[in-house]
Amino acid sequence: MIAAVPPASDLASQPPPSKLAFDSVLVLDFGSQYSQLIARRIRELKVYCELVPGTTSAAEISRHRPRGLVLSGGPASVYDQDALHPDPAIYDLGLPILGICYGMQLLAHDLGGRVKPATKREYGLASVVVDSEDGLFAGLPQEMPVWMSHGDVIEQLPPGYRSVAHTLNSPVAAMAGPGGRVGIQFHPEVAHTPQGAAMLANFLYQTCGCQPNWEATSFVDQAIAEIRGRVGDSQVICALSGGVDSAVVATLVHRAIGDQLTCIFVDNGLLRRGEADRVIDVLTRNMRMKIIRVEAEARFLDALAGVVDPEEKRRIVGREFIAAFEEETGRLGAVPFLAQGTLYPDVIESTSADTFGAHKIKTHHNVGGLPLGMRFQLVEPLRYLFKDEVRRVGRALGLPDDLVMRQPFPGPGLAIRIIGAVNRERLETVRGADWVVIDEIKHSGLYGQVWQSFAILTPVSSVGVMGDFRTYANVVAVRIVTSEDGMTADWARVPYDVLADISRRIVNEVPGVNRVVYDISSKPPSTIEWE
């Protein structure tokens, strides 16, 4: 998805929606793996929240007009040479601040306290004892489990601060000071801190005075007005991929400007059975959009012939998509705007990846994502939303559930679910097996509970016996995973009966398969897709 996101300098040109009539809070990101999760939790509490780099200037922060700030955790120690520090002027903004873990140590350090390495590193579950039952801990038990992950502790509190909770190893597990500035050593955003949401609610509603008035769907009218204002009477194109995001973007833009929008659906021949038809049917018949369907299976399969390297497959699919898309837009004449389904995690990734040196495991190619070289002006109405919020918007716009609740599907499609070379025959095999997996998972009521469920065509053949005959045929792997966001995942403990039905049906219904195996690897160390 990376190519789709404009550089940080472009971001400033698209004002954040926090100028809306919603109370908002900013999370200053110091590189914690949980930073996005903090923002999500805050939005779940119906307070609009954005993530900005930890070093964002106080002036820029003021531009967002937040009611409070959260300083996230981070991997550094405040005394490290390359430790990230906030702009000292943020402390003059008069805003309540919640420091979490490293964020609390920053508060302590910057406001005149002292931090030191812990003699005993605290990692995992701890029991926190509350010493002051107001503020963050109002209405909460006196002792409760929390999730700790830190190497430094507060040695001396800043002037005016007091310790409000402790654990066995941390005399200062939480601190409170004047002006609604509080720090906690543990992570309220993770599921392992069961009272974490209640603590965040106390901070947001009591300390910052926020109203719980943010809903993803309250965004729709505003987004439509913004699209109209930006586009005027110009033409807009939108690439449909078959996934939720591009369908929601197209619907939103169509709602705003009607037939000034033309959608392009490049059928690359790498989609699931019936998928292209279903999406086009919904959007043309129900939504009455103009959609150009480009039949490009031959082009993609020719380009992929004999290629076995997964990254090479991704590059080819990306390149061919752009070529097919360019050819089609060339026929449309001058179209200044491109609408695409960039989501908030992509925006965050593009602004923080450089800062925190994120390691690239796979180049995720967003089929809707086009190189900036194409010089379109971008319309990205979902750029401040998380995936679950996009789904809610999709529902509010009247898209059917089977489209809105669709599991994620990778841009390079079935090409990366065939291990080894891709051809029509192998595509038919994996498509047939995939159909069975999805059908059975839906039938068992598990579709919405798992993150993804699919089949992989392995390069292995095995011996089997069917009737009285020996067979030597393909092995199909089934992968069903649970996950919050695709970053980590676990194999789903699907009931044996469901697995048995999947296996029986694949072998019976899909020609050329005589064995089915179930993938029991988590991510990490594996990834969700096999390629």
- Residues designated catalytic: 101, 187, 189
Contact between residue 153 and residue 104 where contact means Cβ atoms under 8 Å apart:
no
Residue 376 DSSP class: P
For 4, the token pair is 């789709």
Least gap, CB of 307 to ligand XMP (angstroms) = 14
- Nearer residue to ligand XMP within complex by CB, 31 or 410: 410
Bridge-partner residues for 518, per DSSP? 478
24-29 and 97-100 beta bridge pairing? unpaired
The least CB distance from residue 526 to ligand XMP, in Å, is 8
**What would the two tokens of residue 431 be?**
């498509």
Pairing of strands 337-339, 290-295: unpaired
Strand blocks (E) in 324-366: 337-339
DSSP, collapsed to helix, strand or coil, labels residue 238 as: strand
Residue closer to ligand XMP by CB (options 18, 246) is 246
Cα separation, 422 vs 268, in Å, equals 13
Amino acid at 119: T
Footprint of ligand XMP (CB under 6 A) = 314, 361-362, 364-366, 408, 410-412, 452, 486, 523, 527-529
Residue 298: exposure state from Cβ atoms within 10 A (0-12, 13-18, ≥19): exposed
State the nearest-atom distance from the C-beta of 411 to ligand XMP, in Å: 3
Give me the residues paired with residue 68 across strands. Answer: 25
Length of the chain: 531
Q: Where are the alpha helices (DSSP H) in 208-243?
A: 219-231
Taking the complex as a whole, the smallest distance from the CB of residue 353 to ligand XMP amounts, in Å, to 15
Toward ligand XMP, which CB reaches closer, 3 or 197? Answer: 3
Nearer Cβ to ligand XMP, position 364 or 392? Answer: 364
The minimum distance between CB 451 and ligand XMP, in angstroms, equals 7
Do 444 and 281 touch, CB atoms closer than 8 A? no
- Closest approach, Cβ 530 to ligand XMP, in A, equals 8
Nearer to ligand XMP, 194 or 408 (CB): 408
Cβ-based burial of 275 (10 A; exposed 0-12, middle 13-18, buried ≥19):
middle
Nearer to ligand XMP, 394 or 412 (CB): 412
